[in-house]
């Protein structure tokens, strides 16, 4: 289960407001990429006694995520959501779209907070061009980036399984995206793709629907075309 150990170390170093960020929907055939940003301060109190679970959102049930999402938004110092549509992903590619979505979520959280974020914890990779949160990286002798940074970001491999803040960000992002896909699935032209159940991922039902009916403006063309070539 994720813990608050990374955040506590940063608080001890004098940082006051720590943000965790994560993304959901990167591997989907359809729908937007959504990012979450959640900020906690040193006065944070664990939800353990209230029965709330904070974990990698993929390992939680929909009901657990909804309860945790509500708790996070009520108890965190701030939170934000970034969203990039399938159309933009098709136009600019996933890597660039993801960075834009991350910066949107961080900006929204900072705006809601009304003051700067001191440090950023990210899942797996650094986020470039975030004002006030530089990602200064070091390389080892083989040219690989160190996990640690001298800037104001720390990239943690499998961060949503290790950092409380990153896990919280994954939950708010997942809850937001699931609701978006559920709403899209209610539109008559999209019902046949089953997004209410598969949330845009490449399930058998979704794949069969694509083969039968083709793709929509909500589909990621590069992802689907690659899959069709292999199927």
Say what the pLDDT of residue 69 is. 98
Report the CATH number of the 5-230 domain. 3.30.420.10
Q: What residue spans define the domains of the chain?
A: 5-230
Two structure tokens written together for 163: 């950092």
List, for residues 67-97, the tens digit of each pLDDT value. Answer: 999 999 999 999 999 999 999 999 999 999 9
Taken in order 128, 129, 135, 140, is the CA torsion positive or negative? positive
Model confidence at 167, in pLDDT bands (50, 70, 90)? very high
Share of the chain above pLDDT 70, in %: 94
Say what the pLDDT of residue 50 is. 82
Whole-prediction pTM value? 0.92
Model confidence at 231, in pLDDT bands (50, 70, 90)? confident
End-to-end CA, the chain: 37
Q: Which residue has the tokens 């309860």?
A: 67
Residue 130 CA, chain-centre distance (Å), reads 16
Q: What is the dihedral of CA 222, 227, 230, 231, to 10 degrees?
A: -150
* pLDDT higher than threshold 60 for residue 149: no
Backbone angles phi, psi at 208, to 5 degrees: -65, -40
The whole-chain average pLDDT of the chain stands at: 93
Say what the pLDDT of residue 102 is. 98
Say what the pLDDT of residue 48 is. 76
Model confidence at 143, in pLDDT bands (50, 70, 90)? low
State how far the Cα of 177 lies from the Cα of 173, in Å rounded to an integer.
Answer: 6
* pLDDT higher than threshold 70 for residue 200: yes
* Three-state helix/strand/coil letters over the chain: CCECHHHHHHHHCCCCCEEEEEEECCCCCECCEEEEEEEECCCCCCCHHHCCCCCCHHHCCHHHHHHHHHHHHHHCCEEEEEEECHHHHHHHCHHHHHHHHHHHHHHHHHHHHCCCCCEEEEECCCCCCCCCCCCCEEECCCCCEEEEECCCEEEECCHHHCEHHHHHHHHHHHHHHHHHHHHHHCCCCCHHHCHHHHCCCCCHHHHHHHHHHCCCCCECHHHHHHHHHHC
Q: Which residue has the tokens 């006051």?
A: 16
Q: How far is CA 112 from CA 66, 106, 185, 219, in A?
A: 21, 10, 30, 32
């Amino acid at each position: 289960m994720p813990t608050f150990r990374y955040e506590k170390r940063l608080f001890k170093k004098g940082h006051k407001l720590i943000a965790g960020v994560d993304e959901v929907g990167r591997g989907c055939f359809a729908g937007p990429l959504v990012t979450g940003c959640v900020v906690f301060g040193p006065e944070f109190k664990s939800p353990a006694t209230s029965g709330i679970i904070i974990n990698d959102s993929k390992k939680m049930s929909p009901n657990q995520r909804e309860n945790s999402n509500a708790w996070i938004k009520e108890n965190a110092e701030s939170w934000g959501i970034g969203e990039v549509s399938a159309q933009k992903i098709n136009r600019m590619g996933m890597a660039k779209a993801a960075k834009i979505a991350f910066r949107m979520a961080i900006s929204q959280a900072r705006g809601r907070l009304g003051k700067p974020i001191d440090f950023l914890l990210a899942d797996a990779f650094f986020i470039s061009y975030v004002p006030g949160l530089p990602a200064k990286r070091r390389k080892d002798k083989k040219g690989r980036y160190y996990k640690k940074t001298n800037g104001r970001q720390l990239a943690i491999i499998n961060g949503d399984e290790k950092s409380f803040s990153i896990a919280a960000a994954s939950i708010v992002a997942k809850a937001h995206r699931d609701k978006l896909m559920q709403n899209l699935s209610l539109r008559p032209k999209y019902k046949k793709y089953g997004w209410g159940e598969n949330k845009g991922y490449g399930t058998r039902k979704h794949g069969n629907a694509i083969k039968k009916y083709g793709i929509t403006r909500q589909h990621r063309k590069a992802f689907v075309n690659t899959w069709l070539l292999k199927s």
